[in-house]
Amino acid sequence: MNIIKPGDLVDLNDYAPDFTGAYEKKGQTKRRLKKLHKQLLKLQELLYAGNQHALLIILQGMDTCGKDGTIRRVMAGMNVQGCDVVSFKVPSTDELSRDFLWRAHRAVPPKGKIGIFNRSHYEDVLVVRVHSLVPEDIWSQHYQQINDFEKMLVESGTVVLKFFLHISKDEQKARLESRISDPTKHWKVMESDVRERAYWDDYMQAYEVMLQKCSTDWAPWHVIPANKKWYRNLVITECIVETLRKLDMRYPEPSVDITKFTIGD
């Protein structure tokens, strides 16, 4: 299984980004995905009606790993009204002048809704660590702070699902080159993507430490094989459906006996 257990030592070389499970090609997953989307829609309605839980989905991974694509494809099976996507970019002055969890906490979904974080507070143990954007004695505290924060969210009724989209260095090269050779995709290529690629090994190390330190009983990390987009979408959708199903949600009982209502002329 691709769930990191608390205390596990993580070597990302042990996780094959090319893995596609029992499937060989995209076509084999279409029916399954369609079925999952139907279930997802029903579960999302239950989530909204019950108003007891929120679902927070956190997506992290290297540039081109497919965060945007995942959101597009997974949300295709959702009611958009019940789902908010928040992208975490370079922090603003207002954000930098508070603790790093401030902007994440502001953005958490309310009960009844699904929130998707495209990048997240984990950037503060990833890019911040790799480039020493703050001193080590500051970022090294973030792991425990994140665990405490997520624990509080979970204890308050939010389910936290964390996906690390795992692609290989070769796959990133192919995706960057494909974007560069396609003029309609040039807008997606940032100089920073190419620059950050030089820090690949540092990032892998930062991800490994993150997976080790912040995979908790209440909010474990899932390592998603993401070289094949169709398999990535399938696994993530399966995981979301499975997670919502386990909540064993019911439509709430009406507080009055509706059958006794008289509808006037």
Binding interface with its own copies (CB under 8 A): 51, 54, 94, 97-102, 105-106, 108, 110-112, 138, 141, 145, 148-149, 151-153, 155-158
Residue 2 or residue 79: which is nearer to its own copies going by CB? 79
Of 226, 240, 248, nearest to 83 by C-alpha is 240
Alpha-carbon distance of 124 to 140, in angstroms, equals 10
Q: Give me the least distance between CB of 259 and its own copies, in Å please.
A: 28
Residue 88 or residue 164: which is nearer to its own copies going by CB? 88
Q: Give me the least distance between CB of 71 and its own copies, in Å please.
A: 22
Neighbours of 203 (CB within 10 A): 18
Alpha-carbon distance of 202 to 127, in angstroms, equals 10
Q: Give me the least distance between CB of 10 and its own copies, in Å please.
A: 25
Q: Give me the least distance between CB of 248 and its own copies, in Å please.
A: 18
Neighbours of 265 (CB within 10 A): 3
Amino acid in the structure at residue 154? V
Residue 66 or residue 109: which is nearer to its own copies going by CB? 109
Residue 6 or residue 110: which is nearer to its own copies going by CB? 110
Answer for the pair 165, 66: CB distance below 8 angstroms, yes or no: yes
